[in-house]
Structure 1
Amino acid sequence: MHTEFSLMINGEKVAGQAGSFSVINPATEDSIYQCPLSSVEQVDQAVAAASEAFKSWQHTPDEVRKASLHRIADRIEANAQELAEIIVTEQGKPMFLALAEVGGAVAWTRYTADLDIPVETIEDSEEKRIEQHHKPLGVIGSITPWNWPLMIAIWHIMPALRAGNTVVCKPSGFTPLNTLRLVELMNEELPAGVINVVTGEGEIGQAISGHPDIRKVVFTGSTPTGQKIMQNASGNLKRLTLELGGNDAAIVLPDANPEQIAEAIFQTAFLNMGQTCAALKRLYVHDDIYDALSEALAEKARSQVVGNGMEESTTFGPIQNQNQFNLVCDLVDDARNQGATILTGGEPCSDKGYFYPPTIVTNISDGARLVDEEQFGPVLPVIRYSDIEDAIQRANNCPVGLGGSVWSSDPNTASKIAQRLECGTAWVNNHAEVLPHAPFGGCKMSGFGVEFGLAGLLEYTQPQTLNIAK
């Protein structure tokens, strides 16, 4: 694994002015690195560098920016094993999933590189020509979470650069190393100051979201933090893309085949040990197949090999940090105390490391904390229903709305129900699938703005109407 990690400001590796902090391996609870810690002054330096770089980067031809992103994708690909090892060590996921994250980062970068920013002709008459153009905003602040440290950094940074902006990014303090290495690699292909990285938590995030010279903040994380960012961003009316918490509901119709759908439901609920914003988190199952599907899911859970992500046999890694681990323990204990049935799992499974087995909880309903709160971990509550209208109402009776799904042997019927779910993406016979060409975002308290595809790219631009009198 890479052995030295630095901040990157204006193309230079720099030490943290505020000291350092420990990065913990969640599989061992050991400190793996003393990461440099930025000062607020270094945030100002990074923004100043990005502002200066923007003066020329915004005018760089599209073909040059596209080529730069493709070269970055080449660098990520060439360093795939090293980047995956960093992910496993600081985030905890199994190696096969870390390698998939790196592969996804490469594919996303290449897709974004090839997007064209359109010029729309609104009128072309004898008197005038009116066009709509899309211009870059300026300096973008990116604040990323700890669950998919490489992938989400790519989601934030690449469209920003493709559109002609420059970036100051701040990774989660739980998983900073991958982003530090990514930005180091990117600086081998980009002019100084185009991409900068600082570290820290509340104080540094606040310095970014309130900075008068940052024109947009893109944030993936919790709703309370998103609300603080929105308040801080009001000073200069920053543009925002906020992808916040979700508590995704899925409804299984009585005509679904439990054996056929159990694997897909399990994988989309427990993706990354359940630590995925759009993972399936509440499963509403019709009476007729409730027991059969619950047992089929429990079988999938029992077959997982929980362990250190570096071990080849591991299929299921630890929870990433102690706070999240404690929350999962509390939610399951509360469900058990309320009379729910723990079909499988339900207890920590190691003396060291934040290991918690995939857990299926039945005989539980709305009102229990495990159903009403986002667990963001390896636990799935399975909720019984008998009336579809009741199930839809319960699925929608939630302050957040990121994703939702309907499972059935009749996709047409399922599609009609899916469209009634109050969420940014509704899947049929699938869940949690995000694609580089399909816009993705939330509604209600899950945030606003979209990522991915042309719609996501244009979020990093300012429309300008050009009105030419002939």
Structure 2
Amino acid sequence: MKEYSLMINGQKTAPQGGFFDVLNPATEAVVALCPQASVEQLDEAVSAAQACYESWQHSSDAERKKLLHDIADRIEANAAELAQIIVEEQGKPLFLAQMEVGGAVAWTRATAELEMPVDILEDSDTKRVEVHRKPLGVVGSITPWNWPLMIAVWHIMPAIRSGNTVVSKPSGLTPLNTIRLVEIINEVAPPGLVNVVTGETGIGSGMTKHPGIRKIVFTGSTPTGQTIMRGAADNLKRLTLELGGNDAGIVLPDTDPAKAAEGIFQTAFLNMGQTCAALKRLYVHDSIYEELCEKLADVAAKQVMGNGLDEGVTFGPVQNRAQLNLVNELVEDARANGARIICGGSLVDGAGYFYPPTLVADVTDGCRLVDEEQFGPVLPIIRYTDIEDAIKRANATDVGLGGSVWSSDIAKATQIAGRLECGTAWINGHAELLPYAPFGGCKMSGFGVEFGQEGLMEYTSAQVLNINK
């Protein structure tokens, strides 16, 4: 059985806390053994990052760009291995894992090309005022289990592009890909620039409270984000928190169900629904409700569920037992309250955490499946007759990550999308993230943004140079 190592100061490091199992969600077999770092090893990683920061903060723009392109080259060179690891520990089908690796490469290159300009506020005969962006120091990255490579890249690359150093802590459910990524980064990066410590006991909380870490970037649940925020208060860490969502989509009556069904299904069930910005509540006008339900069921029926490494599989397992149980609980609650299960809706016998793509009709607000984020392969479909009511119900939640409007009338859809209380609103699409477009939530979905120029600035502080000539 393969044993992975920590990566501290450019060196593979044996854990002081032993190892724990990482399971394949399609088979429940052990994939590999993950190191359990001690709190003392977290301190070592932070110290290594601090030491590297002393020089890296003064690196040139050209050096930083080149390093990110070199990292992208190394990811490309190891693409097949990385995709294999993703499937084995996360469960998504191989084609989707390959897309994740390709996205990681593209995102790294796009981040490399971002600029950090100096803003000139005044340049007169007597005075010049400039705004410079300076790195913060050591950045702590805490990532979830749904997109283990991509989200690590989203955190790490802008941090080092802006002159910071990193200590990464991936989810204990999917740590292997991130460990391998950091090993690859250390083939071309200076020692201590990017470190990885893993473990489910005391490491995450130790990072949030650590006086040597100046910023935490976290993707995950709202309750965990709240805990991180409390822990970060003692030394006023900067925070970027991309937290839970319960994204609503509104389908207007002029929509063609046959044309919209595929896009709606794929953005709701992306990664088996285990995507923060997936479409999670669908409000459909009464005039096309039954037809759209039928067309969505047709798309669901085409999915081939199984081990992501098997040929032809399009639909993998839920990543872990706890999430599988939650999905099943929400569907059973809806069923008990009179919902109509169009397709799916039951656990699959045998090994693995499999749950079929499930469409649930005749539900409404107040049902747990509508009110709570399912984060799995289930879509509740809610009927409406009045658009004002649909907008109100879409906004009647304490989270606001994304939302969408589906219509053949772009102008009308755009006007409605502008009224949704969310960080990103899509027209005739959902869950599409772009490396140049800021992404983040409002309300209890967190604060701060990732991606693009605005996302890069989240890793810096402003220094004003006030020059009297």
Q: Among the aligned pairs, what percent are the same residue? A: 69
**CA deviation digits over 1:383-434, x for unaligned, max 9?**
0000000000000000100000000000100000000000000001000000
- Mark the runs of 5 or more structure 1 residues left unpaired by the alignment: none
Aligned to 2:274: 275
Answering whether residue 118 of structure 2 is matched by residue 119 of structure 1, we say: yes
State the distance in 2 between where 1:32 and 1:96 align: 20
* SS in structure 2 at match of 1:308: coil
**Who is 2:141 aligned against?**
142
**Aligned equivalents of 2:20, 2:200: Cα separation in 1:** 11
1:197-220 C-alpha deviation (Å, 9 max, x unpaired): 000125110000110010000000
Aligned counterparts of 1:197 and 1:452: Cα–Cα separation in 2: 22
1:133-212 equivalent positions in 2, closer than 5 A: 133-201=132-200, 203-212=202-211
Separation of aligned partners in 1, 2:429 and 2:258 = 15
> What pairs with 1:425-440 in structure 2 (closer than 5 Å)?
425-440=424-439
Give the aligned partner of residue 13 of structure 1: 12
Shift of residue 33 of structure 1? 1.2
Number of residue pairs matched by the alignment: 469
Superposed counterparts of 1:314-329, under 5 Å: 314-329=313-328
> Hey, what does 1:229 align to over in structure 2?
228
The answer to whether the Cα contact below 8 Å between 2:6 and 2:197 also exists between their aligned partners in 1 is: yes
- Alpha-carbon offset, residue 348 of structure 1: 1.5
Which residue of the partner structure matches residue 57 of structure 2? 58
The CA distance in 2 between the partners of 1:191 and 1:3, in whole Å, is: 26
Residue 417 of structure 2 corresponds to residue 405 of structure 1: no
Q: Which residue of 2 aligns with 1:38?
A: 37
SS of the residue 1:274 aligns to: coil
Distance, in Å, in 1 between the alignment partners of 2:207 and 2:80 is 32
Q: Matches of 2:220 and 2:92 in 1, distance apart?
A: 18
Residue aligned with 1:129, SS = strand
Aligned to 2:131: 132
In structure 2, the residue matched to 1:356 is 355
Instruction: Find the residue that maps to 2:96 and give its secondary structure.
Output: helix
Q: Which residue of structure 2 aligns with residue 449 of structure 1?
A: 448
- Once residues 2 and 326 of structure 2 are traced to their aligned partners in structure 1, the CA distance between those partners, rounded to angstroms, is 32
Instruction: State the Cα deviation string for residues 265-297 of structure 1 (Å, max 9, x = none).
Output: 000000000000000000000000000001110
| Preserved CA contact (<8 Å) 2:36 2:200 | no
Q: How far 1:34 sits from its partner (Å)? A: 1.5
1:86 is aligned with what amino acid? I
SS of equivalent residue, structure 2 residue 326: helix
User: Structure 1: which amino acid aligns with 2:196?
Assistant: V
Say whether 1:347 aligns with 2:324: no
Distance 1:201 1:274 in 2: 25
Q: Secondary structure at the match of 2:87?
A: helix
Deviation at 1:332, TM superposition (A): 0.5
The CA RMSD measured in Å over matched residues stands at: 0.8
The answer on whether the counterparts of 2:272 and 2:316 sit within 8 Å (CA) in structure 1 is: yes
**How far apart in 1 are the matches of 2:41 and 2:78?**
28
- CA deviation vs aligned residue, 1:59-91 (integer Å, no higher than 9, x gap): 111101110110100000000000000000000
1:156-176: CA deviation from partner (whole Å, max 9, x where unpaired) = 000000000000000000000
2:24 touches 2:30 (CA, 8 Å); kept in 1? yes
**Alignment correspondent of 2:27:** 28
Q: Which residue of 2 aligns with 1:466?
A: 465
**Does the CA contact (< 8 Å) of 2:222 and 2:445 recur in 1?**
yes
Counterpart of 2:414, as a letter, is: S
Identify the residue that residue 300 of structure 1 maps to in structure 2: 299
> Separation in 1 of the partners of 2:32 and 2:63?
36
1:221-244 deviations in whole A, cap 9, x for unaligned?
000000000000001100000000
Tell whether the 8 Å contact from 2:154 to 2:451 is kept in structure 1 after alignment: yes
CA shift digits 1:127-173 (9 cap, x unpaired): 10000000000000000000000000000000000000000000000
Structure 2 Cα separation of the partners of residues 40 and 5 of structure 1: 18
Cα deviation, residue 3, structure 1? 4.5
**CA distance in structure 2 between the partners assigned to 1:217 and 1:29 by the alignment:** 32
Is the Cα contact below 8 Å between 2:159 and 2:456 reproduced in 1?
A: yes
Task: Name the TM-score, length of structure 2 as normaliser.
Answer: 0.99
1:255-266 aligned at under 5 Å gives the runs 255-266=254-265
**1:371 Cα deviation after fit:** 0.2
Structure 1 stretches of 4+ with a deviation exceeding 6 A read: none
Equivalent position amino acid for 1:137 in 2: L
Partner of 2:99: 100
Distance 1:284 1:202, change over 3 A: farther
